[in-house]
Amino acid sequence: MTKQNAVISALGGYTPDTILDNKMLEKMVDTSDEWITSRTGIKERRILSDSTLATSDMAAFAIKNLLDNSGVAPEEIECLILATSTPDHILTPTASLVCEKAGLKNAWGFDFNAACSGFLFALSTGAAFIESRRHKKVLVVGADQMSAIVNYEDRNTCVLFGDGAGAVLLEPANEGEGVIDSIFKTDGSGTQFLSVPAGGSLYPASEETIAGKKHFVHQDGKTVFKNAINGMSSTSSAIMERNNLDADAVDWIIPHQANLRIIQAVSDRLKFPIEKVKINIQKYGNTTAATIPLCLWDFKDDFKPGENIVLTAFGAGFTWGSTYLKWGTLRKAN
């Protein structure tokens, strides 16, 4: 039996209407538009300002966008994998709520937390369901409401993050297309450098954790910056070498959108032209698990069947890795 690859056959995305730009942040913390732009490349980010909505709603909106664009019926979806670090609740899978809100009546689903690497890890997991012939239609969604866990009094973190969701549909691929290979890494010693310290079983919510602002993102920016460059460049280089690809053979690199300087440094390390690196961090900021699917959604018209694409990410944990795929033909609604 020949190997059955999984191909991305449809895309969807959602970002909230509310925009938080750098000028607005100047009024909230000791910062400036010039400082934020020069150090991160971010000009604005989208914020889910409706208090009645949460991560599950953004994920459902992205899925509905995908289904509308592709003509696939919600009943056809067999499995949903939701990559998120901001679940609606600690206990009860957010994927269950997403299935309900998106009308996925025949799908089972589960949450997947690998922070900013979550979408890539989930994509590989979803591809395995297709490769094993267990399922024929698997949705992989990256969605995060980072505004819910960001301290807007901390200028070092509040300037970085935004909210959003991106979705891809995986189906059996035609020959010569689809997800080809992945290299993933984890290093638990990095946990101390990027985390939300409290709210889990180690430090349950208490007056002390709330007073200490331990339910917000805490980050050692310099350590994360250095490790992100090393991690994404090393796994991207390794996956290209393993698949006999040089920089000329790769059509696009789609990196996690954490910081423009990180993206530029990875491009330099790989000796890869920045013109072939997809970047939208300037308008969304870091949406964690949503950055790569939102890039795919934003730039879908640029990709042509058969093109070689490398996806790469780095996140809390530490977690990092790269995926190599050949682009296929996207479904279109009749």
Of the residues 65, 256, 259, 295, which is catalytic?
A: 256
Catalytic pick from 116, 135, 259, 295?
116
Catalytic residue among 69, 113, 227, 286: 286
Residues 13-24 have pLDDT tens digits of 999 999 999 999
How far apart are the C-alpha atoms of 23 and 44, rounded to whole Å?
Answer: 9
| pLDDT tens track for 147-166 | 999 999 999 999 999 999 99
Tell me the average pLDDT across 318-330.
Answer: 98
Confidence of residue 334 (pLDDT cuts 50, 70, 90): confident
- Residues 191/223, Cβ–Cβ less than 8 Å: no
For the question of residue 113 being annotated catalytic, the response is no
What is the percent of the chain where pLDDT is above 90?
A: 98
295 classed as catalytic: no
What does the pLDDT read at residue 2? 76
Report all structural domains of the chain as residue ranges with CATH numbers, in order of start.
5-178 (3.40.47.10), 180-278+302-327 (3.40.47.10)
**Which contacts (CB < 8 Å, 24+ apart) does range 93-101 have?**
94/55, 94/56, 94/59, 97/56, 98/56, 98/59, 98/60, 98/63, 98/141, 101/56, 101/57, 101/60
Output the pTM of the full model: 0.97
CA distance readout (Å), 66 to 32, 128, 139, 278, 297: 37, 21, 10, 20, 9
User: 83 with 122: CB under 8 angstroms?
Assistant: yes
Annotated catalytic, 215?
Answer: no
Q: CB within 8 A of 61, min separation 6: which ones? A: 14, 165
| pLDDT tens-digit readout, 278-292 | 999 999 999 999 999
3-state SS record for 102-158: CCCCCCEEEEECCHHHHHHHHHHHHHHHHHCCCCCCEEEEEEEEHHHCCCCCCHHHH
Average pLDDT, the chain: 98
How does DSSP classify residue 10? E
- Cβ 233 vs Cβ 272: under 8 Å: no
| CA atoms within 13 A of residue 226's CA, in its CB half-sphere | 5
Q: For residue 249, give the amino acid letter.
A: A
**Which residue, among 88, 182, 86, 71, has the nearest Cα to 126 in the 3D structure?**
182
The stretch 231-257 carries a mean pLDDT of 98
Ramachandran bin of 42, using left for φ above 0, alpha for ψ from -120 to 50, beta for the remaining angles: beta
Contact present, 5 and 130 (Cβ < 8 Å): yes
Question: pLDDT value at position 1?
Answer: 62
Span 305-311, average pLDDT: 98
How many Å apart are CA 289 and CA 144, to the nearest integer? 6
* pLDDT recorded at residue 45: 98
Burial environment of residue 1 by CB neighbours within 10 A (0 to 12, 13 to 18, 19 or more): exposed
Judged against a pLDDT cut of 90, whether residue 3 lies above it is answered with no
Q: Is the pLDDT of residue 275 over 80?
A: yes
Region 46-62: what's the mean pLDDT?
Answer: 98
Distance of CA 111 to the CA centre of its chain: 14
**3-state secondary structure at position 304:** coil
- Return the closest-CA partner of residue 279 out of 271, 296, 269: 296
* Rounded mean pLDDT, 216-228: 98
